[in-house]
Amino acid sequence: MVPEPDPEQVGPGELESAVLHCLWSASEPLTPRMVLDRLDRPLAYTTVMTILTRLWAKELVTRAKRGRAFEYEPTVDEADFHADRMRAPLEHTSNAGLALLRFVDRLSAKERRALEKALDTRRDR
């Protein structure tokens, strides 16, 4: 196992993303202990609880009582979550078309093919 960076040094959204990814890959709702056990990071139980509580406050997860703990489940799937995160900056630019062109210019060939395939599928609807 490769040691992870100190949680205090991880970027602001990285732990939330790691916890969400853990929830997306689960076939059932998870308690904080179950999330902690599945994460490959040296985190305190209270840190995981705090992250889950923040995700719940942002309405990205739901929670239900399970014994003495809550169990958590995502409210959005991974694709919708990332689509919303990519779209958000476009709402704050004065030239969305130019920003999109620059974004496409920076895509790898593989990513560009995936985008073209997605657009073709969308047109066929």
Write down the mean pLDDT value for the chain: 89
- pLDDT for residue 10: 55
Helix axes 14-25, 45-57, angle to 10 degrees: 90
**Percent of the chain topping pLDDT 70:** 90
Range 49-70 average pLDDT:
95
HSE, CB side, 13 Å, CA atoms: give it for residue 31: 9
- pLDDT for residue 34: 96
- pLDDT for residue 2: 37
- pLDDT for residue 13: 84
- If you ran DSSP here, which 8-state letter would residue 4 be given? P
CB 99 within 8 Å of CB 90: yes
Distance between CA 26 and CA 37 in Å, rounded? 12
Range 96-110 average pLDDT:
94
- pLDDT for residue 3: 45
